[in-house]
Amino acid sequence: MRRLVLALATASTLLLAGCASAVAMPEARDQSTDVPFTGCDTVACTGEINGAAYEIVMPETWNGTLLLYSHGYRPAEPFPPNFNPVVTTPVPVPGWDSGDKALGEALLERGFALAGSSYSSNGWAVEDGVRAGEEIYAFFTEQIGAPKRVYVWGDSLGGLITQTLSEKVDWVDGAAPLCGVMAGLEPNIGLSLDTAYGVQQLLFPEMEIAGYDSYEDALASWEGAASRLIESARDQDTDAIARIFTIAAMVDAPSQTFTYDGTSIVSTVSGTIESLLTALAYGTVGRQEIDTRYGGSVVGNVASTYSDRLDDAEREAIDAIGGEGAAERFVTILDNGPRVEADPAAEAAAIERGGNPSGAVKVPTITMHTKADPLVIAQNQTFFRDRYNAQVAEGNVTGGLLQLYTVPPPEYSQETGAPYGAGHCNFTPESRIAVIELLDGWVRNGIYPGQAAIESAMGPLSGYNANYVPGPWPARDAVVTQ
C-alpha cells in the first residue's frame, strides 16, 4: 500500500516545469497616497447596472488604486455535490458577501478602493462578467473618482474573467487571476467530459454523458455516477478502485483535497473520489448549462488517445491494486469506446465567447494556485504559461508574468481540513494580501518581484513553495498555441 501511495503522489504532479518570468517592465507609476473621491454618502455605492448588482467600498483615505474583483462560477441551478441555493449578490472582495470582512477591511486599511459585481446571468457567464467589469469601472470613474491605477483580480471563473478583461481593455494596470481557469473553457470542460466518459466506460455503462435535454437529466447522470463511485469504495472492490485510479490518472485529478490529505490508502481513495465527483459535476450539470448557452455540444473526445495519458508510475500503481495488466486493460477500453462529437458551431462560439486567454499579457500579472485543486487543476497554469511563452516568442507580450503556488502541509485532519494549498481557491487571507501588495509594488515601481520580496510578502504560514510547479496539461493533444 505504501508503494501505491508513493506512486499516486508521483502521478499527481507528473514532470516539473519552470514558471514564466517577466519580459517587459512597466514604467514607475504615480505614487499618490491621498486621492480625492466622491463618498458613498452622496453617491449610491450599491445598486444595479444592466441586471448586475454591484457594490463599491471606499477607504477613509484613498491611495488612488481601484481593486476590481470578479467572483467565481455561480451555478444557474443548485449544483452538486452541495446543492446550495443560487445566489446573485455582488462581491467587492472575497468573503464580503458572506459576512467575513477581515480581508476587505485589511485592504481598505491599506487605502485600496474595492468594487465588484454579480453578473447578469449565472453559469459560465464569462461575457457577462467581462461586461460587468467594464460597466462598474465606467460607473466608478464617472461617479466616485478617477483611479491612478486599476488592478483586476478574481477567483476561479473570475480568474478567467480577470485575464480576459486584462487582455481586452486598456485601462487595466495590473492583473491577479487566482485559482483561475487559465486554460480557458474548452480544455477544462474537455477534461470534465473525459471524466464522465471514463466513468461511463469503466464503471457505469448506462450513464448518459452528452445531449442532456434538461438540468434534471444531467443531474440524474451525476447522481447515478456518484452512487457507483461511492459504492465501489465502500465495498472495497479492488478492481473498481483500480478503475477509479485510472480515470483520475487520465485527467490528473488530485488524490489530495481540502478534506483528505492522502496519507493513507483510505484517505487517498476518498480524496480521489471527491475530486472525480467535483469534475463530474461540471461534466454533467455544468456542461448542460454550457451547451445550452452556446447552442450545442462545445467539446468532444473523438481525437483523444487515453493510453498516452498514463505514465509508468501511474500504470504501476493501478496494476498494484487491480492486478498485473490492469492499467493496459482499462486504457484499451477507453481508447476503443464510442466517442462524443462536438458541434462545430457551438465549439467555435465557446472558444470565442467562453474565455480563451491568448497569453499575450499586456500588464504585470500575478497568478496563484493551490497545488491540489480538484476543480480547476493546477496544470491550468502550465497551459497558460506555455501560451504566454509562445506569445513572448512572437513579440506580443508587453507585460510580465509571475506564477505562485501554495502547497499543503504533509498532514492535516479531516475535521479541520487543509489550512492552505489543497482545495479550490483555498488561500490564506495573508497570501491574498501578499499578491495585491506584490502587484502594487510591481506596477508602482516598475520592478519585477524578486524571490526575497515574494517570500517576505507571502510569509511562512501561506504555504508558498518556490520549488513547486505543476506538470503538463493531461491531454497532450490539447491545442496550446493559437
| Helix, coil or strand: residue 444 | helix
pLDDT at 481 over 50: no
Kindly state whether residue 463 falls inside one of the protein's structural domains: no
Give the chain's mean pLDDT.
Answer: 91
Task: Indicate whether 234 and 340 sit together in one domain.
Answer: yes
| β strands within 272-389, DSSP E | 364-370
Task: Indicate whether 204 and 176 sit together in one domain.
Answer: no
Pairing of strands 400-406, 364-370: parallel
Task: Indicate whether 205 and 256 sit together in one domain.
Answer: yes
pLDDT at 464 over 90: yes
Tell the residue number behind the cell numbers 504560514, with chain if given.
461
Percent of the chain with pLDDT over 90: 86
Kindly state whether residue 172 falls inside one of the protein's structural domains: yes
Is residue 106 packed enough to be buried (19+ CB in 10 Å), middle (13-18) or exposed (0-12)?
middle
Is residue 322 packed enough to be buried (19+ CB in 10 Å), middle (13-18) or exposed (0-12)?
buried
Percent of the chain with pLDDT over 70: 91
For residue 223, give the DSSP letter. H
Look up residue 241 and give its three cell numbers.
478502485
Contact between 406 and 368 under an 8 Å Cβ cutoff? The reply is yes
| Helix, coil or strand: residue 287 | helix
For the sheet containing 364-370, what is the strand order?
A: 46-49, 52-57, 113-117, 65-70, 149-155, 174-178, 364-370, 400-406
User: Which candidate, 408, 406, 425, places its Cα nearest to that of 464?
Assistant: 406
Kindly state whether residue 3 falls inside one of the protein's structural domains: no
Task: Indicate whether 201 and 284 sit together in one domain.
Answer: yes
10 Å Cβ neighbour count for 82? Answer: 8
Task: Indicate whether 137 and 232 sit together in one domain.
Answer: no
- Averaged pLDDT, 218-228: 96
Task: Indicate whether 224 and 103 sit together in one domain.
Answer: no
Cα 209 from Cα 219, distance rounded (Å): 11
Task: Indicate whether 171 and 247 sit together in one domain.
Answer: no
Look up residue 100 and give its three cell numbers.
467575513
Task: Indicate whether 344 and 370 sit together in one domain.
Answer: no
Look up residue 245 and give its three cell numbers.
485510479
Cα 193 from Cα 187, distance rounded (Å): 10
Task: Indicate whether 57 and 177 sit together in one domain.
Answer: yes
Task: Indicate whether 205 and 331 sit together in one domain.
Answer: yes
This prediction has a pTM of: 0.91
pLDDT at 352 over 90: yes
Rg of the chain on CA atoms, in Å = 22
**Residue partners of 306: CB distance under 8 A and separation at least 6:** 194, 198, 250, 331, 334, 335
Cα 138 from Cα 133, distance rounded (Å): 9
Quote the domain boundaries for residue 394.
Answer: 46-183+359-458
Q: pLDDT band at 65, cuts 50/70/90?
A: very high
Question: Is pLDDT larger for residue 457 or for residue 14?
Answer: 457
Would you report the helix, strand and coil content of the chain in percent, each value rounded to 5?
45, 10, 45
> In angstroms, what CA-CA distances link 373 with 46, 221, 226?
33, 23, 19
Q: pLDDT band at 6, cuts 50/70/90?
A: very low
Number of domains the chain is built from: 2
pLDDT at 374 over 60: yes
Q: pLDDT band at 31, cuts 50/70/90?
A: low
Contact between 91 and 155 under an 8 Å Cβ cutoff? The reply is no
| Helix, coil or strand: residue 217 | helix
Kindly state whether residue 39 falls inside one of the protein's structural domains: no
Task: Indicate whether 368 and 391 sit together in one domain.
Answer: yes
What is the domain-level CATH number for residue 65? 3.40.50.1820
10 Å Cβ neighbour count for 474? Answer: 23
User: Which candidate, 230, 346, 222, 229, places its Cα nearest to that of 284?
Assistant: 222
User: Which candidate, 105, 127, 126, 177, places its Cα nearest to that of 439?
Assistant: 177
- Averaged pLDDT, 125-141: 97
Q: pLDDT band at 99, cuts 50/70/90?
A: confident
Task: Indicate whether 143 and 234 sit together in one domain.
Answer: no
| Helix, coil or strand: residue 251 | helix
